[in-house]
Amino acid sequence: MDVINLKYGCNPHQINAKVSMEGKLPIKVLNGNPGYINLLDAVNSYQLVSELDKSLDLPSAASFKHLSPAGAAVAFPLNEKEKAMYFTTQELSPLASAYVRARGTDRMSSFGDFVALSRECDESTAKCLNREVSDGVIAPSYSKEALEILKNKRKGTYNVIQIDKHYKPSAIEKRSVYGITFEQERNAALFDRSYLEEIVTKNKKLSEEQIINLIVATIALKYTQSNSVCYAKRGQTIGVGAGQQSRIHCTRLAGEKADHWSLRQHPKVLNLPFVPKLSRNDKDNVIEQYLSEDRETDLFDKEISAKYFTHPIEELTKEEKKEFIATIDDVVISSDAFFPFSDNIERAYKSGVRAIVQPGGSMRDKDVIHCCDDHNLVMAFSHLRLFHH
């Protein structure tokens, strides 16, 4: 029996935590001392990026927090707006661009994340990782330069996990809850282009980029705690709504995050006059409050504003936000189960959604399709439910 003893379980008082299996474990700790949640995030997130890479043949990355992705992405080069909103100036390898995008989906939620990479971690990606607050990374291998950088992160305590890329898990998975063993067949379905062939709307045209985005969103959902809905654009998730009991609440939550991602590209945000050497995390916090509709205090009064900005700034009004969001399009949305009502479509459309994939199978499918047709949206039925618990 191969065993790795862990720092502790879900909480520090839950001692005697470990991972083990008959035969050789497919993971190896190269640095650090991971905890129970760290390894759950590592194993789940690696499955996500591995499947993205298999489906699209593109380097992939994910940023995980508490068993759901804060963000996931494939390797698309960053445009100038994206470089600015992600605070990136260096040249990026394809894998590094995937990581920066995954982290950029929801930078607030990614604070203290666990990162997964589908291919060997190179020096470019390690340098990007080194700048962020993160608990650890899992990848099939690391270049010598990358490993040296990561071993020195967080005063030498950063968790670096290597996984055997050739490992094939058992077809049956088990877990113990309250002393009871649960068993099921592993969800081995690989979501690819074939699941987008049944288009049920009048509009039948899916662009190549929309196809990629729908695959990214759906594979991300496969490893998101259900119920879940995901918005995607430009090869990355831009809003993940996880663990809600109501489908519309998933759609609203993910839509708010997608709107926030879009608003980070507003000229007023991109041109905020931050004081020199303000940390990336402080910038994220300031932008979060700048865009918030319900902040409790006025962060931007003269006294406080001077701590963050070189000169006074203008507010971004509700009207300006609404006008800017109205210009956004070519966003896609995926749902891990059917949309039961057309209210989900109406909400998604407000965030620029133009293409949809969902399993279908609701009693009100016709109503949902009719709503899509009213907005000239493309919708495919995958007939693949992807609940994850």
Catalytic residue numbers read 65-66, 227, 389
CA 85 to chain centre: 16
Q: How many CA atoms lie within 13 A of 384 on its CB side?
A: 22
Q: Which two tokens stand for residue 349?
A: 């459309």
Q: How many CA atoms lie within 13 A of 37 on its CB side?
A: 13
DSSP letter (8 states) at residue 153: G
Write down the residue that tokens 């191969």 correspond to: 2
Count, residues in the chain: 389
Write down the residue that tokens 């008959």 correspond to: 22
Sign (positive/negative) of CA torsion 313, 317, 320, 325? positive
SS3 13: coil
d(CA 249, CA 227): 9
Q: Which helix (H) or strand (E) holds 100?
A: helix 94-104
Cα 253 to Cα 230, 348, 388: the distances in Å are 10, 11, 18
Q: Is the peptide bond before 227 cis (omega within 30 degrees of 0)?
A: yes
Q: Are 371 and 345 in contact (CB under 8 A)?
A: yes
Write down the residue that tokens 């960053």 correspond to: 78
Write down the residue that tokens 């690819």 correspond to: 192
